Chain A
Amino acid sequence: MNTQAALVAQGVGKRFVIKKAGRTVVALDDVSIEVKTAALTALVGPDGAGKTTLLRLAAGLMVADTGTMTVLGIDAAIDPQAIQNRISYMPQRFGLYDDLSVQENLDLYADLHAVPHDVRGKRYKRLMEMTDLGRFTSRPAGKLSGGMKQKLGLACTLVRSPELLLLDEPTVGVDPLSRRELWEILEQLVREENLSVLVSTSYMDEAARCAHVAILHDGKVLAQGTPESIRNTAEGLCFAVTPPADEAPRHLQARLLDDDKTVDAVPRGGKVHFVRTRAAVEQDDPDVANLLGTSQAEPVPPTLEDGFMLALRSKVQRDLSSVASVAMSTPTRALKADETVIEVRDLVRTFGDFTAVDRTSFSVSRGEIFGLLGPNGAGKTTTFRMLCGLLPASSGTLRVAGHDLRKARAHARQQIGYVSQKFALYGNLTVDENLKFFGGAYGLSGTHLRERMAAVKSQFELDDSGHAQAGLLPGGFKQRLAMATGLLHAPDILFLDEPTSGADPLARREFWRRITALAEAGTTIVITTHFMEEAEYCDRVVIQDAGKVLALGTPAEIRRQAGETDAQTFDMEQAFIGIVEQNRKASRGGSREAA
């Protein structure tokens, strides 16, 4: 058994017909992968890449159209029940019963899987130790935090000892601290119980922790192998450069990204990390000096994401500079330096006796990109909703675009654009009807409305989709339509709630390229994100936990506050975890945590 692979997919294909839209979606196309026993294998890819379909095929819940799926030596198309008896599958939304306690949920799943009573005690003890849920066994599952729920889901999945564990995005919507804990549990399981695990994720750093990685994109395997082998494809192509003191890293990053010989460029730790094409590097890359100006680039070791981007860009051609040039066509305003457009002082919001936001103060200047970061339940969504005027503040001052939100809400709203996390437009209206309606809501009409509609449609590449029903558009289009709608009335301030969750890395680069260009044109951006590395694009960020502001400043200041030194550099994720942990420790020391 040990020499055999736990799962072998050979040329697996699966299509779905979407009747309403009259199109066929190829979820998987000729996918061949192997999951080794007693090791972690990651399935990486954005939403819609085919990860869930592959996992459901492996769990015997669906049958492939073409190819064969063999799990633990059994053909999934022939005897799915035999497979299901020996594996555990944790879907993205695991079925916990909110009104049952942690212990009752465990018992329920133990009963469902007919786990013998004499082994339960030992198993429970081990699972509770591993997940650190032992203190909460009598708490209803519905009252647990997002991260704790996922851990309980994992524990319920593991009440019996499966031979293969299938996990579908177990860390989605989980804050960085809980994410790290979940992965430690997984690694421990593999190490101590020789479990074989196939886990899907949209995070590269998670994939890097696995023994084997398969990158899915549009239903195809883009690359697979050990993280090293994928990383090594970018060997010698990766560089880091420190921008001049008077330039924000994202400006240099934008310039680099616009060049067609750049594979990828991201701001990271105050520097700009970029990957050049092999052709360019082999010819000593004469153009790069022009792009860098006075700064000097130094070679750095590649990351898994670099290897991924290299593989992706070889398949998907996309000119990112065009994105930016149209983005600049948004009406510009005279930039007044240091003009404050958002002012928050002693902002408090309570729900009953629970304080969601506690005396928060900050201000945002025109043209700034301002990020709100925090674990789930930290108060960032509440703060965000108050800033947009969707939720009244309990007390404190809130001025947006020069208007007091408590008094002149309608005036303030004329100046802001809002893009929500999930698609929030009228699904059964067409793209044009949606734009026309929201344009009208902002008081645009006649020629002006038509001009603005044409402008945002070309800016977000929706020219040909005017008559398409908005709800049936593919994911990326929906997101662009939401952005187009938010910018239709050329607002001073754009509020974005988790705009990049689930998007593929290239779409995220494209998104940030647009945002950077918008900020340059004078639009202020307020954004929440759970991709910590995206905080690097922000001019300033605020980190909240338990309703309080823990840190406020530029990404560099945040890193320093987290304890970064010249000897030891942090990325934003490390900085974030550091700051939140420091604070929790301090408050725990002050008053013993009441669990």
Chain B
Amino acid sequence: MNAMLAFLRRVANLCRKELQVILKDPASRVLLFVPALLQSLMFGYAATLDLRQAPYALLDQDHGPAAVQLIANVEGSGVFRRVATLHNENDIAPIVDAGEVLFVLHIAPRFEQRLSAGETTPVQLILDARNSTTAGTASGYLGTIVSRFNADWRQSHGGGAAPLTVDVRAWYNPNLETRWFMMSSMIAVLSMLQTLMLTALSVAREREQGTFDQLLVTPCTPAEIMIGKSVPSIFVGLVQSTLILLIATLWFHIPMAGSLVTLYIGLLVFTVACVGIGLAISALAVNMQQAMLYTFVLMMPLVLLSGMTTPIANMPTAMQWLTTINPARYAIHLVQRVYLEGVGLGTVIGDIVPLLIIAAVTLPFSAWLFRHRLV
């Protein structure tokens, strides 16, 4: 009992010191809040895959009422904005090459005539697919516009109702805004990056300044030192998640569907797993420069293989396997389900268990590294 008390007292002492060191330094104080704030605002506004006012060019060689109707449908959506009207086919290549437009809509001569004759009438779409994502989105939008045009045409020309219609209801994100998806991912990813950096650097900094030796000669055991390093980092990571959560709900007005308790349980487990990785880096790195380098090398795959920017299901099988050891993958999934979908703890258990397993591997591993690399 006494030993337990002494242990707790020493750990509390280490934690207090760690927080003092973090909070007393004006530079690291700024580092705690400003990047999280800036990045979440930036991602919220800038990182969007939604098309708004995308420039396009029109080559209309028919000029009939049907063509005018189709163009009105395209331009009325607010998604596309005509920046050029072409007069012959030779104009197409230069304007796409120059990157001035995302696509050229080409309505061939005899458009109206063929339509009226009941023939299948092609409308040509020339896409600038250098950015395949926006090109794909644009083509999708146009597909929708064309099918609506088809349906209208049939109705007004006595072709009867379309045999099949798609009725879209986008659940959890009714307006299909990328921001909703991005911001909820950020709650996990941003705090992961900061936690990793903080833990990885904190030991390296102490080692560089010689304070780590001073710490090691005290009766504190490596395990106590590790806990003393982890708890403040976990705390800071959760504070950052909270910050982004507040920006998402209060600034971007993304409604929180689930329970805060479930969300924080998930985030806590996730942050512990990240701290384990950070500590392993810090045990391996000899100085701050190395710790920084290792962290940056790790960050890229952690973010890429998390499903934040590209769906995991689209990745090659080997990569999909790799994502299973990435804590960010589970955390993003978990946060989205709880935040946007509002599921309870029982549903996200499939994300929490892998996170627990990762934490159960990284923490003892870094403890092992600590013992073998340091003492």
Shortest CB distance A37–B (Å): 44
Chain A residue at minimal CB-CB distance from B220: A441
Shortest CB distance A556–B (Å): 32
Q: A441-B219, A443-B219 are in contact. Are A424 and B10 (CB under 8 A)?
A: no
Q: A429-B17, A429-B24, A437-B16 are in contact. Are A423 and B219 (CB under 8 A)?
A: no
A425 touches B211 (CB 8 A): yes
A441, B219: Cα distance in complex, Å: 7
* Chain B contacts for A410, CB-based, 8 A: 219-221
Shortest CB distance A223–B (Å): 36
A437 touches B13 (CB 8 A): yes
A426 touches B14 (CB 8 A): no
B89 at interface (Cβ–Cβ under 8 A)? Answer: no
Residues B338-375 near A (CB distance < 8 A):
375
- Per-residue contact bits, chain A 336-347, to B (CB 8 Å; 1 contact, 0 not): 000000000000
A422 touches B220 (CB 8 A): no
* Chain B contacts for A416, CB-based, 8 A: 217
* Chain B contacts for A441, CB-based, 8 A: 10, 13-14, 215, 218-220
B21 at interface (Cβ–Cβ under 8 A)? Answer: yes
* Chain B contacts for A409, CB-based, 8 A: 375
Residues B192-233 near A (CB distance < 8 A):
209-211, 213-221
A390, B25: Cα distance in complex, Å: 28
A445, B218: Cα distance in complex, Å: 15
B210 touches A422 (CB 8 A): yes
* Chain B contacts for A443, CB-based, 8 A: 6, 9-10, 219
A445, B209: Cα distance in complex, Å: 26
B24 CB contact (under 8 Å) in A389, A428, A437, A438: A428
* Chain B contacts for A162, CB-based, 8 A: none
Q: How many residues of A contact B (CB 8 A)?
A: 31
Residue among B9, B20, B218 with the highest chain A CB neighbour number at 10 A: B218
A557 at interface (Cβ–Cβ under 8 A)? Answer: no
A429, B16: Cα distance in complex, Å: 12
Shortest CB distance A162–B (Å): 36
Q: How many residues of B contact A (CB 8 A)?
A: 24
- Per-residue contact bits, chain A 401-439, to B (CB 8 Å; 1 contact, 0 not): 000000001110110101010111111110001000110
B211 touches A418 (CB 8 A): no
A442 at interface (Cβ–Cβ under 8 A)? Answer: yes
Chain A residue at minimal CB-CB distance from B225: A441
Shortest CB distance B375–A (Å): 6
* Chain B contacts for A428, CB-based, 8 A: 21, 24-25
Shortest CB distance A138–B (Å): 28
A244 at interface (Cβ–Cβ under 8 A)? Answer: no
Residue among B6, B215, B219 with the highest chain A CB neighbour number at 10 A: B219
Residues B1-46 near A (CB distance < 8 A):
6, 9-10, 13-14, 16-17, 20-21, 24-25
Shortest CB distance A351–B (Å): 13
B209 touches A390 (CB 8 A): no
A392 touches B375 (CB 8 A): yes
A137, B61: Cα distance in complex, Å: 80
B219 touches A427 (CB 8 A): no
A445 touches B21 (CB 8 A): no
* Chain B contacts for A275, CB-based, 8 A: none
Residues B162-185 near A (CB distance < 8 A):
none
Q: A437-B17, A441-B10, A441-B14 are in contact. Are A424 and B24 (CB under 8 A)?
A: no
* Chain A contacts for B25, CB-based, 8 A: 428
A410, B216: Cα distance in complex, Å: 10
B13 touches A440 (CB 8 A): yes
A420 touches B213 (CB 8 A): yes
Majority SS of interface residues in chain A?
loop
Chain B residue at minimal CB-CB distance from A440: B13
Residue among A413, A438, A441 with the highest chain B CB neighbour number at 10 A: A441
* Chain B contacts for A418, CB-based, 8 A: 213-214, 217
Chain A residue at minimal CB-CB distance from B372: A392
Residue among B6, B14, B17 with the highest chain A CB neighbour number at 10 A: B17
Q: A390-B375, A420-B214, A428-B25 are in contact. Are A414 and B9 (CB under 8 A)?
A: no
A388 at interface (Cβ–Cβ under 8 A)? Answer: yes
A424 touches B217 (CB 8 A): no
A424 CB contact (under 8 Å) in B9, B14, B213, B220: B213
A426 touches B21 (CB 8 A): yes
* Chain A contacts for B211, CB-based, 8 A: 424-426
* Chain A contacts for B375, CB-based, 8 A: 389-392, 409
A411, B20: Cα distance in complex, Å: 28
A420 touches B219 (CB 8 A): no
B210 touches A413 (CB 8 A): no
Shortest CB distance A493–B (Å): 11
B24 touches A390 (CB 8 A): no
Chain B residue at minimal CB-CB distance from A485: B214
* Chain B contacts for A433, CB-based, 8 A: 17, 20
B214 touches A427 (CB 8 A): no
A418, B211: Cα distance in complex, Å: 11
Shortest CB distance A437–B (Å): 4
Shortest CB distance B142–A (Å): 59
A170, B220: Cα distance in complex, Å: 40
Residues A488-514 near B (CB distance < 8 A):
495
Residues B125-150 near A (CB distance < 8 A):
none
B9 touches A445 (CB 8 A): yes
A390 touches B221 (CB 8 A): no
Q: A428-B24, A440-B13 are in contact. Are A389 and B216 (CB under 8 A)?
A: yes
* Chain A contacts for B219, CB-based, 8 A: 410-411, 413-414, 441-443
B217 CB contact (under 8 Å) in A389, A422, A425: A389
A433, B13: Cα distance in complex, Å: 11
Q: A392-B375, A441-B13, A441-B220 are in contact. Are A424 and B209 (CB under 8 A)?
A: yes
B17 touches A390 (CB 8 A): no
Residue among B216, B217, B221 with the highest chain A CB neighbour number at 10 A: B217
Residues B96-115 near A (CB distance < 8 A):
none
B209 CB contact (under 8 Å) in A389, A391, A427, A485: A427
Shortest CB distance A557–B (Å): 31
A429 touches B21 (CB 8 A): yes
A442, B10: Cα distance in complex, Å: 8
* Chain A contacts for B213, CB-based, 8 A: 390, 418, 420, 424
A495, B216: Cα distance in complex, Å: 14
A424 touches B210 (CB 8 A): yes
A433, B217: Cα distance in complex, Å: 18
B13 touches A429 (CB 8 A): no
Shortest CB distance A445–B (Å): 7
Knowing that A429-B24, A433-B17 touch, tell me 14 more A-B residue pairs with CB under 8 angstroms. Answer: A390-B216, A391-B375, A411-B219, A413-B217, A413-B218, A413-B219, A422-B210, A424-B210, A437-B20, A438-B214, A441-B13, A441-B215, A443-B9, A445-B9
Listed in ascending order, the chain A residues whose CB lies under 8 Å from chain B are 388-392, 409-411, 413-414, 416, 418, 420, 422-429, 433, 437-438, 440-443, 445, 485, 495
28 cross-chain CB contacts under 8 A: A390-B213, A409-B375, A410-B220, A411-B219, A416-B217, A420-B210, A420-B213, A420-B214, A424-B209, A424-B210, A424-B211, A424-B213, A425-B214, A426-B20, A426-B21, A427-B209, A429-B20, A429-B24, A433-B17, A437-B13, A437-B16, A438-B214, A438-B218, A441-B215, A442-B219, A443-B10, A443-B219, A445-B9
The 5 closest A-B pairs by CB, nearest first: A424-B210, A440-B13, A441-B218, A418-B217, A437-B17
